[in-house]
């Protein structure tokens, strides 16, 4: 899973948000996904990449408002990229 952020660049640090802060905010979402059956998580319609990425966005965007894109690859040649704009409810595929 790759998370893309958009926001004002901190010219001193050279990035939008410190990677450690991103990891800390993502950790509760990761814990729900890690080693848990996806069909038991409320809000995931089915186990496909798009549903999982939408679920991650729904749970992570309140903690990480800079989140604008999620790439989730099932295999080297198959996956999904979802782009989100401002307060969109649904992703742009």
What does the pLDDT average to over 8-13?
Answer: 89
For every residue of 28-48, which 3-state class applies, written as one string?
A: HHHHHHCCCCHHHCCCCCCCC
**Which CATH class, in words, describes the domain spanning 2-83?**
alpha beta
Q: How far apart are CA 72 and CA 78, in angstroms?
A: 9
Domain extents in the chain: 2-83
Strands 67-75 and 2-5: antiparallel
The model's confidence at residue 81, banded by pLDDT at 50, 70 and 90, is: very high
In contact, 49 and 80? CB cutoff 8 Å: yes
The pTM for the full model equals 0.83
Per residue in 22-56, pLDDT tens? 999 999 999 999 988 888 888 888 778 899 999 99
13 pLDDT more than 80: yes
pLDDT of residue 92: 47
Q: What pLDDT does residue 88 have?
A: 55
Please give the Cα distance from 26 to 92 (Å, whole number). Answer: 22
């Amino acid at each position: 899973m790759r998370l893309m952020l958009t926001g004002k660049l901190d010219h001193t640090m050279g990035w939008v948000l410190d990677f450690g802060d991103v990891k800390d905010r993502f950790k509760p979402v990761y814990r729900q996904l890690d080693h848990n059956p996806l069909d038991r998580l409320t809000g995931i319609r089915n186990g496909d990449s798009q549903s999982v990425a939408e679920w991650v966005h729904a749970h992570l965007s309140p903690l990480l408002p800079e989140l604008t894109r999620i790439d989730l690859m099932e295999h080297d040649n198959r996956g999904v990229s979802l782009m989100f704009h401002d307060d969109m409810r649904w992703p742009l595929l």
